[in-house]
Amino acid sequence: MGKPVRQFQIISKSPAETARFYSNLFGWTVNSDNPLGYREINTGSVDGIQGGIWPAPPQAANFVQLFTAVDDVQACVKHAQELGAQLIIPPTALPGGVELAVMHDPQGMSFGVMKTG
């Protein structure tokens, strides 16, 4: 029940350096051995949520996105747009069974929704 925040994502212009920094600081393990080459972060704790690092385009600043778990990504995107959200990445099926979409809320802040399995 509910719509939990499932994952954080650091969008970084220097993803390798970002991975190194947080690994050194917090002892997080970063693994990119997956079909997307996505830097998956394991915080080493069952508390909180896990995350990942994605490379930022040159014109963007570094920022953090939160991905909320939903039952139906398409329906959520439609609802969000009715509420004034702007679609940035349309619903996309990633290898491994994850479906996600990225939007800007009406105030321009980036957020994601995802469905696993």
Partner 1 sequence: MWASSILQVMSRFAFRDWLSQELEKRRLVNPRYSLRAFAALLGTDHSTVSQVLRGKRRVPVAVLRRWGKRLGLAAEEVAAYVAMEHVPDALITKRQEELRHWTAEALAIMKDQTHWQIVRISQMPGFRPDCRWIAKQLGVSVDDVNVSLSRLLRLRLLKIERPRQWKVFVGRGTVSEAEFHKCALIRVRQLAADCGVTLGRINRKAASERSTIPWVSQ
Which spans of this chain sit near partner 1 (rule: CB under 8 A)? 15-16, 32, 35-38, 54-59, 86, 88-97
Name which of 4 and 32 has its Cβ closer to partner 1.
32
Nearest distance, CB of residue 97 and partner 1, angstroms? 8
Nearest distance, CB of residue 50 and partner 1, angstroms? 19
Q: List own/partner pairs for 103-111 with CB under 8 A and 24 or more apart.
A: 103/77, 105/80, 110/11, 110/63, 110/65, 111/65, 111/66, 111/67, 111/68
Name which of 44 and 90 has its Cβ closer to partner 1.
90
Residue matched to tokens 């990119």: 32
Q: Report the alpha-carbon distance of residue 99 to residue 92 in Å, rounded.
A: 5
Name which of 33 and 47 has its Cβ closer to partner 1.
33
Nearest distance, CB of residue 27 and partner 1, angstroms? 23
Name which of 2 and 37 has its Cβ closer to partner 1.
37
Q: Strands 63-69 and 110-115, how do they pair? A: parallel
Nearest distance, CB of residue 49 and partner 1, angstroms? 22
CA 56, 21, 17, 94 dihedral sign is: negative
